[in-house]
């Protein structure tokens, strides 16, 4: 990663690398807990602009991960009741929480236009990415 860049620059670079190099990652972004409010706020992302800059805890896949503290792999978004659609081209989604000192402080969110593309390898890889993001957050 480049030196002398801001945290948001580094997070955006991670999004860019993931979207460019992994064919089934079509929208890659970060959501973070918004201060002491019970909501997530959109951070750096790559892909189509989204209207969902703020997501209340519990709402959609992202909001559910904010309270469950667990990975959420959605093979078919059409089969989810509690789902916030950002684009009609999205078929699947994966959300992995980011922990700092054991606290769930945000997440990486990835949408795919491929049906059922995410495997346990994606989960393990993205958990690793999130652990590196956690280090960046603590160093900033
Ligand atoms: N689909 C997400 C909302 C965020 S967009 O994918 C960028 C959800 O259901 O939480």
Q: What is the pLDDT of residues 113-128, one digit of tens each?
A: 999 999 999 999 999 9
Dist. CA 130 → ligand 1 center (Å) = 18
Instruction: Report the residue among 49, 61, 75 best suited for mutation to probe ligand 1: largest number of ligand atoms under 8 A from its CB.
Output: 61
29 pairs with which residues across the strands? 45, 109
Query: How does residue 103 score in pLDDT terms, banded at 50, 70 and 90?
Result: very high
Does the pLDDT of residue 4 top 90, yes or no? no
45 CA closest ligand 1 atom index: 7
Domains along the chain? 7-139 (3.30.450.40)
Does the pLDDT of residue 21 top 70, yes or no? yes
Q: Give the whole-number percent of the chain exceeding pLDDT 90.
A: 95
Rounded Cα–Cα distance for residues 17 and 20 (Å): 5
Judge whether 90 and 109 are in contact, CB under 8 Å: no
ipTM (interface predicted TM)? 0.96
Query: How does residue 3 score in pLDDT terms, banded at 50, 70 and 90?
Result: low
Sheet holding 27-33, edge to edge: 54-56, 39-46, 27-33, 103-112, 92-100, 72-74
Rounded Cα–Cα distance for residues 75 and 40 (Å): 23
Which candidate, 4, 28, 27, places its Cα nearest to that of 14?
A: 28
Does the pLDDT of residue 2 top 60, yes or no? no
**Mean predicted lDDT score pLDDT of the chain:** 96
Tens of pLDDT, residues 35-59: 999 999 999 999 999 999 999 999 9
* pTM for this predicted structure: 0.96
Helices (H), 22-119: 60-68
Find tokens 């990835």 and name the residue: 110
Query: How does residue 63 score in pLDDT terms, banded at 50, 70 and 90?
Result: very high
Residue-level pLDDT at 1:
54
CB-based pocket (< 6 A), ligand 1? 27, 29, 50, 52, 55, 60-63, 83-84, 86, 93, 109, 111
Rounded Cα–Cα distance for residues 12 and 123 (Å): 20
**Which structure tokens are listed for 40?**
């997530």
């Amino acid at each position: 990663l480049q030196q002398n860049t801001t945290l948001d620059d580094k997070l955006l670079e991670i999004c860019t690398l993931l979207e460019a190099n992994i064919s089934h990652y079509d929208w890659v972004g970060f959501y973070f807990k918004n201060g002491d409010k019970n909501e997530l706020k959109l951070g750096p992302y790559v892909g189509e602009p989204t209207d969902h800059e703020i997501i209340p805890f519990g709402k959609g896949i992202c909001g559910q991960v904010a309270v469950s503290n667990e990975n959420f792999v959605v093979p078919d978004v059409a089969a989810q009741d509690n789902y916030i659609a950002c684009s009609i081209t999205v078929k699947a989604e994966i959300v992995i929480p980011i922990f700092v000192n054991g606290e769930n402080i945000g997440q990486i969110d990835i949408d795919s236009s491929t049906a059922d593309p995410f495997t346990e390898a994606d989960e393990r890889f993205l958990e690793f990415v999130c652990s590196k993001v956690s280090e960046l957050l603590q160093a900033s």
